[in-house]
Structure 1
């Protein structure tokens, strides 16, 4: 009985199928066949077939399979570095071949739900109308997006980059205030000081599921409030507040879209955070990614007052 070697060679041979490595990367990054299939727009059986073919060519087992998904073996970990380097080279080659003036292709933007839904989505048509061959995918969600795992080409976050191969740009500060509907504030106990806020029910984040520590406001506003209604994303909090039964800390640029909301003690209670834009250096070489990144920066620069004061 022969045993399979536990190592994968450093580089693929010329006759190897790059598609096999592409499927390998998708499984390594997503952790399951089904998630990889969804990412690649195919069936999980197709993904499994490519992984099996690659393991056969390399004579190595690349994944440990368990009830929670697929984890890389030692051989898989070594192959991951090589496969990502090849992928980076292919991306760079495609970017160079496309030419500087050919703004075409798909750009995936990962952003917090408020920024992606309330600010970027209503404006992105200005860019796609300018470049008819450009397609945009906006992933607006309360989560972090990994550029190294290719979850996004451009990521908007609340902190600077912590990866050496990521280009980062500070976009803008944005301010947050306590808001309630005008009808709620009219009928509820009057708020004259910060202490009065404790008499009111709050709506906020589920603290243990925060995707960024910058979204924890405990102690920031000088009042140790307890949110009785909690959610993992911002837009759910907005709609809960619009129902008129409590207060919520919301970004000014989001609250500006809802005339029934009114800031409470805006001169005394305020939270300031910062948006940053991140692009992996491999993606930055592509003209269409640079065009989208430039558009986002230009739009933010043109609406700084919206982020700071909701104006």
Structure 2
């Protein structure tokens, strides 16, 4: 039986895509669950078959050559055909299975999503969900996630995007902080109080730049690259924080400050690669997340908690006055 020609080894393209997306042999090997020598062998095989160098190699990693960028389009087309054919096969499957990765901002992934996804895996025992909760933008093209939750819509043409919900942010403090600190009656009074906020150069989305919107006089004295450290800094009772209502709702000791005067609105969007959104497991998880968010819309908008905390805040204000 004649041996297969190198050009017919389509599996080489899978290794090529992994290197193109991760930038190194070791990272590609980790993603594919193999050794870096195996990845190198497949890249060499593809380069030999195409009689062209596909990557520039340097101390910092692998960068596509001009030929490599053209081959990338072909490799993605092959991948898309595979994904679509698998989605067609999965369409008739009764049981949902496989691993689905969700990339989300740290608070959304940790505080809202993590406590609730077990409901879906209990209904689908062969389904596994991985939550990558981090203050960053997740690349669907690099396959960093199957589903990405972001603060803005998709800019890539091959990404399907839908608006999940708006959400509100308020200035929060603990009851103890309000009892022992100077009174806050106007927005101008906020400038004399310490805040927790983001490290400015670490902002992964322009929508997170809150302070200039509220007042140019506000300056956070405690900064972090993620939201959860700001939450716990505020819970420490020595600073104020600008926090999403859906996060603050988990901590009854947090009280909104000037909620009628200071209220910001931002949005969550869900994005899925066009080539993957027909896969049964990804479709089921995406629909679950969308339905889950919609059923908790009042939580994101801070409607119920806002009314309760306004009463508590006003009562506290009356006692101190």
Tell me the CA shift for residue 14 of structure 1.
8.5
2:286 equivalent to 1:293: yes
Corresponding residue number in structure 2 for 1:222 = 215
**Distance (whole Å) between structure 1 residues aligned to residue 36 and residue 303 of structure 2:** 46
Sort the Cα spacing of 1:95 and 1:142 in 2 relative to 1 into closer, same or farther, 3 A. Answer: same
Match of 2:178 among 185, 188, 191: 185
Asked whether the 8 Å contact 2:17–2:75 carries over to 1, the reply is yes
Corresponding residue number in structure 1 for 2:24 = 32
Structure 1 gaps, min length 5: 1-11
Asked whether the 8 Å contact 2:103–2:132 carries over to 1, the reply is yes
Corresponding residue number in structure 1 for 2:108 = 115
User: Secondary structure of 2:148's match?
Assistant: strand
TM-score normalised over the length of structure 1? 0.92
**Distance (whole Å) between structure 2 residues aligned to residue 300 and residue 225 of structure 1:** 32
Asked whether the 8 Å contact 1:198–1:223 carries over to 2, the reply is no
User: Secondary structure of 1:284's match?
Assistant: coil
Structure 2 gaps, min length 5: 305-321
User: Secondary structure of 2:129's match?
Assistant: strand
Sort the Cα spacing of 1:13 and 1:254 in 2 relative to 1 into closer, same or farther, 3 A. Answer: farther
Deviations 1:13-45 (A, max 9, x none): 786333321111111011112221222222323
Asked whether the 8 Å contact 2:6–2:49 carries over to 1, the reply is no
**Match runs of 1:1-311 below 5 Å:** 16-100=8-92, 101-309=94-302, 311=304
**Distance (whole Å) between structure 1 residues aligned to residue 221 and residue 42 of structure 2:** 49
**Distance (whole Å) between structure 1 residues aligned to residue 180 and residue 13 of structure 2:** 62
Asked whether the 8 Å contact 1:112–1:157 carries over to 2, the reply is yes
Alignment RMSD, CA only? 1.7
Tell me the CA shift for residue 273 of structure 1.
0.2
